[in-house]
Structure 1
Amino acid sequence: MALVHFLRCAGDEAFFAAYESALRLRLLSAAARLRIRQLVPASARWLLDLARADADSGLESLLRLRLHLLGLRLDRQVNILGVGRVDFVIEERLILEVDGKENHDGASMRHKDLTRDAAASALGYESLRFDYAQVVHDWPTVQAAVLAALIRLRDRA
């Protein structure tokens, strides 16, 4: 199976994103998922258990995996009245958005994002927005921002 080989070659993070993508696209039958579980090392089976079929992108999968490893539980694809659907919410008050270029490029999309962030703030949420390069190539900065925001929100409570 290609995904099993991919795990060996590319590592946990890339495998997790690819596996969630395959789940979302309904490319894996129940038999295929069982075969993958049998073939991956026992040490990697937790990735299969964490995987979900509703990841909108590999970038979202990667962010969720990394925050899971920090012990943070995220609610995914949350609808907030007056804001719309957001990528993630942590501890009911911190919104995380991961923006791929295709959905958030250009002045009109930027304006829409800023409007949503302002509406969320008026409802008591703090929003953090990261792009591909930050999540993939500058994870320490993303991690520090998320953890600092959570500390601020906990101190306000």
Structure 2
Amino acid sequence: MLRQLGGVAPVSKLVDLGVSRYHLKLEVKAGTIRSVRRGWVALPEADPQLLLAASTGTILTCITQAKRLGLWVLHEDAPHLAAPHPHSEVKDRRGVIHWAQPVLQREPGALFDPVENVLDIVGMCQPFEIALAVWESALHAKMVDLQSLAYLSYRGRSRRLLEESQPYSDSGLETFVRVRLQWLRVPIEPQAWIHGHRVDFLIDGWLVLQIDGGHHVGAQRTEDIRHDAELMLRGYQVIRCSYEQVVHRWPEVQGLIQRALARGRSPAR
């Protein structure tokens, strides 16, 4: 039963399922399960993050839970945890503690937030473009949709994130680029299809911007080079940049785009 509950659970839930407290005490004494804190037990091999939440009386949320859900997260500086209620007392603070009123009520005994709460807290905690990348990652993965999110009581920056989010970005890098190029007075089409192939961005109808993540190696890299050549033969110009350039050397990428647009499209020969 404990394994079915994720490896960590309140004693009260196990008792409700028919396990006697006496049996639980015997199992703890034998070392087959462990006591996490008063009223909580876990398997010895239980998820360390769930153990952290259970032992501190908190809930995994924000970028920590976003990462657990497989969403795009730039970096995680420390575990991000939520107090069960805005006025809860959290004595053991191992990480970043969030006290906000959740958008969705939390089930008693929950150890992690639902994605709707995660997005709201990410919106309050992280810089705007990083938060937007997490939101768009959830939309792209179809964990949520804009229509259902619109009915929830998001406020402040979370409401702005809702209004600006799009479900098209394959990665947070594409979100960063879209936000950072909004000032350009030219049409920018993300995830554009050109002659049967998708490109990350089509700028002004002729300039292709491709962003290489960590998977652009080996056969993928070979296919990228072939596709770039095909695009250029068809009259497009291609700029390809890396994770390092987008995250840490953005002015370099922006300068390439500005110079390409200033020069204009090469005339067909």
Paired position in structure 1 for 2:213? 100
Which letter does structure 1 place at the counterpart of 2:176? Answer: L
- In 2 relative to 1, CA 72–12 (structure 1 residues): closer, same or farther, beyond 3 Å? farther
Distance 1:4 1:130 in 2: 31
1:32 alignment partner, one of 149, 164, 176: 149
Give the structure-2-normalised TM-score.
0.51
Paired position in structure 1 for 2:74? none
Structure 2 residue runs without a partner (length 5+): 1-116
| Higher Cα radius of gyration | 2
Matched, 1:91 2:204: yes
Checking the alignment, whether the CA contact within 8 Å between 2:245 and 2:253 is kept in structure 1 is: yes
Structure 1 residue runs without a partner (length 5+): none
Distance 1:17 1:41 in 2: 14
- Choose 3-12 or 116-125, whichever is displaced more: 3-12
1:34 CA displacement: 3.2
1:105 CA displacement: 1.2
Q: How does 1:12-91 map to 2 (within 5 A)?
A: 12-28=128-144, 30-35=147-152, 38-41=154-157, 45=160, 47-81=161-195, 84-91=197-204
Q: Deviations over 1:94-152 (max 9, x none)?
A: 000011111x112x332221211111111111100111111011111011111111111
2:248 alignment partner, one of 113, 130, 137: 137
Matched, 1:7 2:120: no
Give the structure-1-normalised TM-score.
0.83
Greater RCO structure (CA 8 Å; 6+ sep):
1
1:69 CA displacement: 4.2
- Give me the CA root mean square deviation: 2.3
Distance 1:120 1:31 in 2: 39
1:121 alignment partner, one of 232, 254, 257: 232
Checking the alignment, whether the CA contact within 8 Å between 2:210 and 2:238 is kept in structure 1 is: yes
